[in-house]
Amino acid sequence: MPSYSTAALVALVGTSLASPVARHEFQKRDTYSFRQVQRGTYTKNGPAQVAKAYKKFGVSVPSVVNAAVSAAAAATTGSVEATPEDNMDSLYLCPVNVGGTELQLDFDTGSADLWVFSSQMTSSEQTGHAIYKPSSSATKKNGYSWDISYGDGSGAAGNVYADKVVVGGVTATSQAVEAATSVSSSFTSDTDNDGLLGLAFSSINTVSPQAQNTFFDTVADQLAKKLFAVTLKKGEAGTYDFGYIDQSKYTGEIAYIDVDSSEGYWGFTADGYAVGDGSVTGSSFSAIADTGTTLVYLPDEIVDAYYAKVDGASYDEQQAGYTFACSTDLPDFSLSLGGAKRTVPGNYINYAKVDGNNCYGGIQSSSSIGLSIVGDIFLKSQYVVFDKTQSTPRLGWAQQSSTSSSSSNGTASSQTKGSSSASAPAATSPTPTPSPASTGSGGGFGGSGIFPSGLPSGFPSFGGGSSGSSSSQGSGFSESQSSGSSSSSSGFSQEAANQAFNEALAAAQAGGF
């Protein structure tokens, strides 16, 4: 039975009682329960559980069991949930255990650094974020540093540790963790996001004097298959699967194309494109697949050809991109990849409202960027395999087995973590620094400079709330509450407080308090 100290109970009671409650309202409860929440999935390892039982009861683990554990570990697989941060799918966050602390990280196939908010930053920069504190098993890599910048001028820098990192049950026991000592304001203001996990090629890692391996490269040899598969979703949580291909997540065949990794990215050549029900136009071009970029950036002739089929669409100089009436039915868009036609539904291409009547397109020009980028607007319609099982890396493309039922105006389901109000795209052109092309976190090019923060009064905020709002990053949830506001306006419930106290009292009494 658990025991409860007087101080602990007083603290718990004090937390529960935000306003006076009459003593007669407190009632002893005979039963209580807590709901468990699953944060990741991984393949069950029977031998590991046997070994765990031996160790728990102080029995030496037989060599045959240790051998079985090692054999099972050599075929590791795991899956982690990727949740949209806001209602426009500007970026997706995944729970990652770094040195014993769970952080919410943006997985980015367009960069190769695993960097995190850390205890070495100023207290003001840490506010609202889950923070990496080097664990007792961490080793500082003396003389090593890192410095990364993004196309909007945002960036971060710091020093380097080797520490344990766990993603969906897949463990890297000595992973390079880049602990931030300073970050730009756009990162600190995005309190949902605690850093970034790069999944490009390790050759573009920014650690000096020697580049470090990405998480994927660190664990690749222990995976059942040397690959990871990405299933991003519109307006709902998707997954990153490591070491296996999940046939339930796609339809038809996977079309594979070779990857050009010479620049450190998952580069490929598309055979052509199609608009709506039209036939494929055989105009090949090179691009990269980047989960850290929100929109799709393509050659001008392709972009112009698409919007020529959109009624009333025009290039808006102030928005640095194509806009159209929000009520417009957009045509689908397809890429020919490995001889197969892969399609994003037209409603996915309606990214965000510019004003009350006009919306911003999810396909824009790559001319000022210097490379074409297939970002989340397209990727969230696909099951994409990032494959290193062959001598030449390759990308696999298949249509997802189901699509989101989200409406075409860019509004996501209630499962998204971010703000519920849409914001107009930034007026300046969202251009990334070509190396690295990482773009997905911090309010830069990945989100097209958009990290909406406004919420209706009394509405709970999942990050990016108004200045001065409190934040509990452990769950990614924060409640905005202005000074002097009533309990109801901040989401506080007197009934809930009473229930919390009753449950705490019952637990204490059950423990012999």
Q: What is the pLDDT of residues 349-404, one digit of tens each?
A: 999 999 989 999 999 999 999 999 999 999 999 999 999 999 999 999 999 997 54
- Does 264 reside within a domain? yes
230 has which bridge partners?
240, 384
Residue 187 has pLDDT above 80, yes or no: yes
Find the catalytic residue in 163, 190, 217, 290. 290
Question: Burial, 174: exposed, middle or buried (Cβ in 10 Å; 0-12, 13-18, 19+)?
Answer: middle
The span from the CA of 440 to the CA of 196, in Å, is 9
480 has which bridge partners?
none
Residue range 438-465: average pLDDT? 31
Residue 415 has pLDDT above 70, yes or no: no
- What pLDDT, on a 0 to 100 scale, did the predictor assign at position 71? 58
User: Strands, E, within 204-266: which ranges?
Assistant: 227-231, 238-242, 250-258
Sheet holding 333-337, edge to edge: 272-275, 333-337, 340-344
Residue 433 has pLDDT above 50, yes or no: no
CATH number at residue 309: 2.40.70.10
The span from the CA of 188 to the CA of 201, in Å, is 27
- What pLDDT, on a 0 to 100 scale, did the predictor assign at position 322? 98
- What pLDDT, on a 0 to 100 scale, did the predictor assign at position 150? 74
Task: With cut-offs at 50, 70 and 90, classify the pLDDT of residue 223.
Answer: very high
- Does 340 reside within a domain? yes
Structure tokens at 279: 């036939």
What is the extent of the structural domain holding 435?
260-447
- Does 357 reside within a domain? yes
- What pLDDT, on a 0 to 100 scale, did the predictor assign at position 54? 72
The span from the CA of 147 to the CA of 58, in Å, is 46
Angle at the Cα of 23 from the Cα atoms of 18 and 27, rounded to 5 degrees: 100
Looking only at the bridges linking them, the beta strands covering 101-108 and 114-116 are: unpaired
The span from the CA of 250 to the CA of 59, in Å, is 46
Higher pLDDT, 348 or 13: 348
Residue 423 has pLDDT above 60, yes or no: no
- Does 157 reside within a domain? no
- What pLDDT, on a 0 to 100 scale, did the predictor assign at position 137? 83
- Does 420 reside within a domain? yes
Active-site residue 290, yes or no?
Answer: yes
- What pLDDT, on a 0 to 100 scale, did the predictor assign at position 487? 32
Please tell me the number of Cα atoms within 13 Å of 289 on its side-chain side: 30
- What pLDDT, on a 0 to 100 scale, did the predictor assign at position 265? 98
- Please state the φ and ψ torsions of residue 400, each to the nearest 5 degrees: -60, 150
3-state percent breakdown (helix, strand, coil) of the chain, nearest 5: 20, 30, 50
Residue range 473-496: average pLDDT? 33
Residue 151 has pLDDT above 70, yes or no: no
DSSP state of 448: T
Using alpha carbons, select from 232, 152, 89 the residue that is nearest to residue 442.
Answer: 152
Residue 233 has pLDDT above 60, yes or no: yes
Using alpha carbons, select from 456, 452, 453 the residue that is nearest to residue 489.
Answer: 456
Question: Is the CA virtual torsion 473, 205, 82, 322 positive or negative?
Answer: positive
Residue 19 has pLDDT above 60, yes or no: no
Higher pLDDT, 458 or 129: 129
- What pLDDT, on a 0 to 100 scale, did the predictor assign at position 33? 41
- Does 148 reside within a domain? no
- Does 225 reside within a domain? no
Residue range 203-209: average pLDDT? 98
Task: With cut-offs at 50, 70 and 90, classify the pLDDT of residue 53.
Answer: confident
Residue 172 has pLDDT above 80, yes or no: yes
- What pLDDT, on a 0 to 100 scale, did the predictor assign at position 402? 75
- What pLDDT, on a 0 to 100 scale, did the predictor assign at position 140? 96
Residue 3 has pLDDT above 70, yes or no: no
Question: Is the CA virtual torsion 437, 440, 446, 449 positive or negative?
Answer: negative
Question: Is the CA virtual torsion 321, 327, 331, 337 positive or negative?
Answer: positive
- Count the domains in the chain: 1
Distances from the Cα of 12 to the Cα of 9, 38, 248, angstroms = 5, 25, 45
Task: With cut-offs at 50, 70 and 90, classify the pLDDT of residue 427.
Answer: very low
Residue 152 has pLDDT above 50, yes or no: yes
The percentage of the chain sitting over the pLDDT mark of 70, rounded to a whole number, equals: 67
Active-site residue 108, yes or no?
Answer: yes
Residue range 423-450: average pLDDT? 35
Task: With cut-offs at 50, 70 and 90, classify the pLDDT of residue 22.
Answer: very low
Residue 460 has pLDDT above 90, yes or no: no
- Does 476 reside within a domain? no
Find the catalytic residue in 89, 108, 163, 194. 108
Q: Which of 43-52, 81-90, 413-422 has the highest mean pLDDT?
A: 81-90
Please tell me the number of Cα atoms within 13 Å of 506 on its side-chain side: 14
